[in-house]
Structure 1
Amino acid sequence: MQSPETEGSGEKQQLERELEELLRQVEGIGEIRVMLTLEEENNSIYASESGGTKVAGVLIAAQGADDLTVVQNIQEAVQALFQVEAHKIKVMKMK
């Protein structure tokens, strides 16, 4: 049996991979890297009332992020998927 931290880490990595795969399909986005932070409570992953893991913040490095429309599309997608406030999402241009 995995500890809550191990389970949360695996779920976090899966969410990151799935978001990367999805965003790669969006026009204007090339290579992309995603890092999520999850809310924690007493050193265990916080489960929201809906039963899922709650995302606290998102950092994305993406080719194409020099286009403001691409950045806006990424931010709106993340907000829709994870119900994360805009100020908790940072999109940066990948070199």
Structure 2
Amino acid sequence: MEKKQANRPILLIVIAVVFIIFLFMFLSQPEKGESNNSNEEQLAKLLSEIQSVGQVQVYFHYDQQSEQQFLSVTQQQKLSGVIIVAQGANNTDVKTMLKETVGHVLQIPSHRIQVVPMQIKGENK
């Protein structure tokens, strides 16, 4: 009977340590939406500064890959494509320049980058 009571504090400590480790792992991971949006916004701001481009919106597409590690499963995101919506994308030179620039910056092939013209507010659909 005394052995069972002696093991209880040790078991409680082990459970508390495991709980703290899992809690730390989940709290230390950045929110997916936060980091992605800031990167998209930063790229959009940079691209909008290029001559003749105008206003820009950027969307990143990620492939998720699960990876089994000791005591956890991590989700790694691999950038697989980009959509760029820009006011100046009606001009083929601007469209080509945007594709090449984003391809070099993000190190992805140009066929994974889609550049489309932005609809001007008040324009008929």
Q: CA deviation at 1:16?
A: 0.2
Q: CA deviation at 1:38?
A: 2.1
SS at 2:37 equivalent: helix
Q: What is the number of equivalent residue pairs in this alignment? A: 86
Partner of 2:63: 39
Q: CA deviation at 1:9?
A: 2.3
Post-superposition Cα deviations, 1:27-68, rounded to whole Å, max 9, x if no partner, equal: 01111111001232127133xxxxxxx421000110010111
Post-superposition Cα deviations, 1:49-95, rounded to whole Å, max 9, x if no partner, equal: xxxxx421000110010111101111011111111111110000001
Partner of 1:69: 93
| Structure holding more helix per residue | 2
Say which structure, 1 or 2, has more relative contact order (CA 8 Å, 6+ apart): 1
Post-superposition Cα deviations, 1:10-33, rounded to whole Å, max 9, x if no partner, equal: 221111011011001100111111
User: Where does structure 1 lack aligned partners over 5 or more consecutive residues?
Assistant: 47-53
Q: CA deviation at 1:3?
A: 4.6
Contact conserved, 1:12 with 1:38, CA < 8 A, in 2?
Answer: no
Partner of 1:16: 40
Q: Under a length normalisation based on structure 2, what TM-score does the superposition of the two structures give?
A: 0.63
- Aligned residue type for 1:36: F
Q: Under a length normalisation based on structure 1, what TM-score does the superposition of the two structures give?
A: 0.81
Let me know the Cα RMSD of the aligned residues: 1.7
User: Where does structure 2 lack aligned partners over 5 or more consecutive residues?
Assistant: 1-26, 67-73, 120-125
